[in-house]
Amino acid sequence: MKYSVAIEKGDERHAYGVIVPDLPGCFSAGDTFEQALDNAQEAIELHIEALLDSGEPLPMPRPLDAHVRNKDYARMVWAFVDVPVEALDDSVERVNLSLPRRVLRRIDAEAGRRGRTRSSYMAEAALACADESERHSTAHRDATESVTDSYGRTNPTRTAGERTPSPGRGDTRRKSK
């Protein structure tokens, strides 16, 4: 599935800023055009995953013409980011796990205390672990980055795919020297 992305050109002081109009709050940036597109791919996939995990509907991509006519995106360059269909697949798949019985008893006991099935508890625990790992690596990477708007104001760092209000034109990641 292809999503249109609006890219604000960077310069020596500002990175290339990326907005995904069909996914409100989804944005990214990169020091080069190519890096901005790569980061947009990750932002879109994380944004979609957050929507699916929270049970929210997934907005479908609209035709590029619907965005090009929008004056908010005047003078921006357009590109497409192809999201693999498997990133959108929320269907249930049966898997076979081998676990020691003592571990399985602990999992079943905790799932029961929480009123969950074994499968839903294990899926929830695995996602929580993956989210924690992502937060840890993102926090380390973003510790040296800040977001600046077109007026030079510094805002708190946001991670790729974080669901916040659309930054509007001019928000880019500051290049480190």
Q: What percent of the chain has pLDDT over 70?
A: 76
**What CATH number belongs to 2-91+144-173?**
3.30.160.250
Q: Give yes or no for residue 140 having a pLDDT over 90.
A: no
Q: Which residues of 39-73 are buried (b: 16+ CB within 10 A; e: fewer)?
A: bbbebbbbbbbbbeeeeeeebebeeeeebeeeeeb
* Token output for 19: 């907005």
Q: Decide if 173 contacts 145 (C-beta within 8 A).
A: yes
Place of tokens 């930054």: 167
What is the separation, in whole angstroms, between the first and last Cα of the chain? 36
Parse the chain into domains and list their residue ranges: 2-91+144-173
User: Hey, what amino acid is at 58?
Assistant: L
| pLDDT band (50, 70, 90) for residue 28 | very high
How far CA 90 is from CA of 24, 50, 98, 121, 143, in Å, comes to 21, 12, 24, 17, 33
At residue 153, the pLDDT reads: 46
Average pLDDT over residues 13-33: 93
Write down the pTM of the prediction: 0.57
Q: pLDDT tens, 80-135?
A: 999 887 766 777 888 898 999 999 999 999 999 999 999 989 988 988 888 788 77
Q: Give yes or no for residue 150 having a pLDDT over 80.
A: no
Q: Give yes or no for residue 159 having a pLDDT over 80.
A: no
CA distance 80 to 62: 12
At residue 161, the pLDDT reads: 44
Place of tokens 């659309």: 166
